[in-house]
Amino acid sequence: MAPRRKPVIFLLLVALLVVGLVSTDKVHRLAVAQAGPAEYQELDLFTDVLALVRKSYVEEVPLKDLIHGAINGMLAALDPHSSFLPPEMYQEMKIDTRGEFGGLGIEISIRDGILTIVAPIEDTPAHRAGLKAGDQILKIEDRFTKDMSIMDAVKLMRGKPGTTVTITIMRDLFDKPQEFTLKREIIKVRSIRAQTLEDGFGYLRVTQFQERTGDDLHKALDLLRKENQGTLQGLVLDLRNNPGGLLDQAVEVADAFLREGLIVYTEGREAASQLRFSARKSGSEPDYPMVVLINGGSASASEIVAGALQDHQRAVVMGTQSFGKGSVQTIIPLGDQSGLRLTTARYYTPNGTSIQARGITPDILVNPLEVSEAAEESHIREKDLEQHMNGAEPTEGGPQFHLDEQMRKDYQLMRALDLLKGWQLLKKLDPKAA
Query: CA–CA separation, 368 vs 211, rounded Å?
Result: 30
Asked whether the domain spanning 192-365 has the same topology as the one spanning 100-188, the reply is no
Which pLDDT value is given to residue 306? 98
CA distances from 187 to 58, 133, 168, 214 (A): 42, 18, 21, 20
Classify burial at 193, counting beta carbons within 10 Å of its beta carbon; exposed 0-12, middle 13-18, buried 19 or more: middle
SS3 content of the chain, % helix, strand, coil (to 5): 35, 25, 40
Which pLDDT value is given to residue 10? 36
Q: Tell which residue, 312, 264, 306, 258, has the closest CA to residue 280.
A: 258
pLDDT band at 307 (very low <50, low <70, confident <90, very high): very high
- At 283, the amino acid letter reads G
Catalytic residues: 300, 311, 325
Range picked from 7-11, 12-16, 20-24, 60-64 for highest mean pLDDT? 60-64
CA distances from 412 to 11, 164, 229, 399 (A): 55, 34, 27, 20
Determine what percent of the chain is predicted with pLDDT higher than 70.
81
pLDDT band at 111 (very low <50, low <70, confident <90, very high): confident
Buried b (16+ CB within 10 A) or exposed e, 19-57: eeebebeebbebbeeebeeeebeebbebbeebbeebeee
pLDDT band at 152 (very low <50, low <70, confident <90, very high): confident
Query: CA–CA separation, 249 vs 191, rounded Å?
Result: 11
- The chain-wide mean pLDDT, for the chain, equals 84
Question: Would you say residue 99 has pLDDT above 90?
Answer: no
Classify burial at 241, counting beta carbons within 10 Å of its beta carbon; exposed 0-12, middle 13-18, buried 19 or more: buried
Residues 216-239 have pLDDT tens digits of: 999 999 999 999 999 999 999 999
pLDDT band at 88 (very low <50, low <70, confident <90, very high): confident
Which pLDDT value is given to residue 118? 85
Residue 167, classed as helix, strand or coil, is strand
pLDDT band at 402 (very low <50, low <70, confident <90, very high): low
Per the model's pLDDT, the better-predicted residue between 380 and 104 turns out to be: 104
Specify the CATH number for 192-365; select among 3.90.226.10, 3.40.50.2300, 3.40.50.1980, 3.30.479.30.
3.90.226.10
Question: Would you say residue 403 has pLDDT above 80?
Answer: no
pLDDT (average), residues 164-170: 97
Per the model's pLDDT, the better-predicted residue between 180 and 80 turns out to be: 180
The architecture (CATH level 2) of 100-188 comes to Roll (2.30)
Query: CA–CA separation, 216 vs 281, rounded Å?
Result: 19
Question: DSSP of 270-335, one letter per residue?
Answer: SGGG-EEEE--STTPPP---EEEEE-TT--THHHHHHHHHHHTTSSEEEES------EEEEEEE-T
Query: CA–CA separation, 345 vs 275, rounded Å?
Result: 9
For the chain, the structural domain boundaries read 2-61, 100-188, 192-365
Question: Would you say residue 25 has pLDDT above 80?
Answer: no
pLDDT band at 321 (very low <50, low <70, confident <90, very high): very high
CA distances from 272 to 267, 275, 345 (A): 9, 7, 10
Angle between helical axes of 301-311 and 247-255 (0-180°, round to 10): 30
CA distances from 155 to 66, 104, 151 (A): 19, 11, 6
